[in-house]
Structure 1
Amino acid sequence: MDMAQTKPHERLAEMLAEDMGAVNALIRERMASEHAPRIPEVTAHLVEAGGKRLRPMLTLAAARLCGYGGPYHVHLAATVEFIHTATLLHDDVVDESRQRRGRPTANLLWDNKSSVLVGDYLFARSFQLMTDTGNMRVLRILSNAAAVIAEGEVLQMTAARDLGTDEAVYLKVVRGKTAALFSAATEVGGVIAGAPEEQVAALFTYGDALGIAFQIVDDLLDYGGDATATGKNVGDDFRERKLTLPVIKAVAQADAEERAFWTRVIEKGDQRDGDLAHALELLDRHGAMAATRADALGWAERAKGAIRALPEGELRGLMIDLADYVVARIS
């Protein structure tokens, strides 16, 4: 394999292949259900749909970076993947999504009730896995992340179509729906390894900044990405009336006529032919795309700066490359 051509998450997967094998085995074991075969059916559909498994890999990488030699990083990585999968199941119901990772969503193949209940089951399983470690601090970090994720989703629901939503509220939503699990994933790796507090704090900051950069890039690509590469159609967020960072930046500079347009298409949901093209023109007029891109690059730099507090080596280099890769799609 040509290392120059291989993406950082693929090199990370290669380096952590043995540990990830153990994580996958534990996931399969814990998503089994003797009494409700629907549970493994639904979870297998999502878990085996591919995906980069970035979050559990970050837990394994953080633990290894801090010199951990015990077995519990595997439990924590599986916990992180279960929380992530549970939130995806719930999100697809809330968003009435029909496709994820290029495949039909569970709520489309089965129904909303199955998706919600199986998501609940995975949350419960994640808490069982956490307690296996016997580490109260780990339990506190991950259970707090689960609460912050739910809070972020509820905040998004109320803020997403309100033109009064500013960048500070947007950041709260992103910290909830995306960054909370990234930062918990990296932080618990350091905690289980018994790393010094400054390293644990650095791992938290790395995960937080990486997660924010990751979400901003996603929001940016919705207005300027390649649908075949992103798996989403350009303008999906616009059609779903989600107030993401590029639009928030454009609204902040809008004159009365432009504001009336945003009110009609986002708040009132009255969308007509040509509205997406006009929205893109307004984003361009106010430099909203370029400003959003600069924000994403800034968060990636913050992640890279934080991880440099960890021991030097190939693994740390890969985590730096990962921050670059997250924003490379918009460079």
Structure 2
Amino acid sequence: MADKRDYYEVLELQKNASADDIKKAYRKLARQYHPDVNKAADAEVKFKEVKEAYDVLSDDQQRARYDQFGHQDPNAGFGGAGGADFGGGFGDIFDMFFGGGGGRRDPNAPQRGNDLQYTMTIEFKEAVFGKETDITIPRTETCDTCHGNGAKPGTKPDTCSTCRGTGQQEVAQNTPFGRIVNRRACSTCGGKGKIIKERCGTCAGSGQVKKQRKIHVKIPAGVDDGAQLRVSGEGEGGVRGGPSGDLYIVLRVKSHDFFDREGDNILCEIPLTFTQAALGDEIEIPTLTEKVKLKIPAGTQTGKYFSLKGKGVPRLRGYGQGDQLVKVTVVTPTHLSDDQRELLREFAAKSGESTHEQSQSIFERMKRAILGD
């Protein structure tokens, strides 16, 4: 355990972090290190480390045990990508050195199925407004023929006579330090505690089969790129009657040709002609649902933002919607007729402007600043 980092350090949190802090930190780091996004060689390792830390700290009971024992929790090695599994706890360790009769893990106990992860790509507007869809995933399920016991219908597994159903064999050895009992998987049953004489023809004795399963998914309005949805009980099937794991759906949101997103706000950029910016105008602005009128006041400068209230993204965990922020850019005409050039010169003259004189003035000021005159 010495090389295992503290879970709070992994999530870049203090030990008094709230549940919301933990969730926010996980989302940020999971998005940063997700292998689909981050192509660095160690990204997958860091992603798994972040996931393991979150799994522990987001569960009140596991977090309390971790705060008390750290990575040396005697009741549960915080599994995942590197947790040690000591079976029945300290009892097995004492058995190894002192030959005691500590607790043993039952090889035939129900076992929870593994979690699954599925990456789904959705359109920009689907993320904003939500959608319902069906996805098909490959997963392991309990065999319907043998109901998970691996035996041919009409038969049942026998208890292993070598280990008497424990799944383990003990080898005792006397040493100068005392009697040492080494425990290993039973060589007869492979640690299962059962012998299947007639195997199920469907699953070949494994008790599980691979299937393509269609699952209905509801994507809530307001999700963002990198969001993760948890579908309870739709992961791998459990073993020996254990519960199924969960399905985690990671969302990837496509970019939009016109709109960008910043939190709950929608951003867009609208070009204005010189005349519109100078004299003002009323223009049509596209939003995610409709076109709306926007008044441009006279004298509007390029880069100015206008806000369309409530035209943004529905708040995922709250009420109302964000805004749409419209940035205007004044477009300078590039192809002018002689008449247009003459009108602009006349306009400049009446405004007291002279582009030539102004340029000379700027040049002179730069020269004085450089030479110190």
Question: TM-score if structure 2 supplies the norm length?
Answer: 0.21
Question: TM-score if structure 1 supplies the norm length?
Answer: 0.23
Comparing both chains, which one has the higher relative contact order based on Cα–Cα distances under 8 Å and sequence gaps of 6 or more? 1
The structure that is helix-richer by fraction is: 1
The structure that is strand-richer by fraction is: 2
